[in-house]
A = this chain, B = another copy of it.
Amino acid sequence: MDDTIDAPTHGHLLIVGGSEDRQHGMRVLTRFVELCGGADQPVAVMTAASEIADQVFEMYRVAFAELGVTRISHVHLDSPKEAASEKLLSRLREAKGIFMSGGDQKRLLEMIGGTPVHACIATAFARGACIAGTSAGASAMSRFMLAEGKAELEPEKGAIRLGPGLGFVERIVVDQHFAQRKRLPRLLSIIAERPDLYGIGIDEDTALLISPGKGIEVIGDGAVTLLDGLNMVSNIDLLDTGEVPRLIDVRLHLLPAGTRFDVGAAADGDTRVPPPFQDFFDTLIQSEQPEQPEQREPS
């Protein structure tokens, strides 16, 4: 079976803010299982962001078992050389949901970025699988990934560095553990450096669900904070590294769990997209085929 795309309907993207509940109500994981098509469907847990892969996989195996999922496979790499392994690729091809754990997003990208594993996940998404990522896994899902970021009290020039992510969403940068780790200043640093990108901060035990072409929803316990710097006036280009930028007219949106916006919702319904949010919404749900990732030369 080759990896060309032939199915018309994308799966969903579930971008999780870390520390999702794995023992009690498990709202985020429950939704993931539904999005996979139910507990009888095969799920792959990718731990390539993590240095403690077996421990992390076991944690998810137990949680998913609690939800009735028994067909669960482990995808892990300790070297990008393993990213052409037929064993791993077949696990990913079979999966109706691929769940990328936390750890370090740079490790995840180093292991799989531009490899057959990466292409395989992109194909699975195009064929209807649910692609989920939590914590570092969440940050990796966009085209633009937060690779380094200082945790300061205020945004600063030079505080963050972006790197290439997996490319499942365009034009956004995702941060996680957002309220709990007080990451608004860092998200402001991101849009201050890249006002062309939208910033998304996801709280713990919270997920942003994107149904391409259809809508978005916030699931779980907390909220999603979104920053739009497209109209922003900033002096960051005049500053030295470490200085705090002056930022005027950042647009901030706060979407608590339960929020849902649908394309084509009734004009007076509460899932109608508020006009000031329309462009952001359109960016999130754009359903053009993500490019197949550039293949990395084998090293």
- Which residues of A come within 8 Å of B, CB atoms? 153-155, 179-180, 182, 184-185, 188, 203, 222-223, 227, 231, 233, 235, 243-257, 259, 270, 274, 276-277
Output the nearest chain B residue to A270 by Cβ-Cβ distance. B235
Contact A252 B254, CB 8 Å, known A184-B184, A222-B153, A276-B233:
no
Complex CA distance for A251 and B229, rounded to whole angstroms:
10
Write the chain B residue with the least CB distance to A249: B276
Number of copies: 2
Pair A277/B254 contact, Cβ less than 8 Å: no
- When chains A and B are docked, how far (Å) is the Cα of A270 from the Cα of B246? 11
Residues of B within 8 A of A179 (CB): 153-154, 185
Instruction: Give the residue of B203, B248, B256, B274 whose beta carbon is less than 8 angstroms from that of A253.
Output: B248
Q: A153-B179, A251-B251 are in contact. Are A259 and B274 (CB under 8 A)?
A: no
In-complex Cβ contact of A255 among B180, B246, B252, B255 (8 A): B246
Distance in angstroms between the alpha carbons of A40 and B274 in the assembled complex: 57
Partner of A154, one of B154, B233, B251, B256: B256
Is the CB–CB distance between A252 and B253 below 8 Å? no
Choose among B244, B245, B248, B277 the residue that contacts A248 (Cβ–Cβ < 8 A).
B277
* 16 A/B residue pairs, CB under 8 Å, sorted by A: A153-B180, A154-B223, A155-B254, A179-B185, A188-B254, A233-B276, A243-B256, A246-B255, A247-B252, A247-B254, A248-B253, A248-B277, A250-B252, A250-B254, A251-B252, A252-B252
By Cβ-Cβ distance, the 10 closest A-B pairs, closest first, are: A244-B256, A249-B276, A153-B179, A247-B254, A250-B252, A248-B274, A233-B274, A252-B252, A248-B253, A154-B223
Chain B, Cβ-Cβ closest to A223: B154
Q: Give, as a whole number of angstroms, the nearest-CB distance from A187 to chain B.
A: 11
Closest to A228 in B: B249
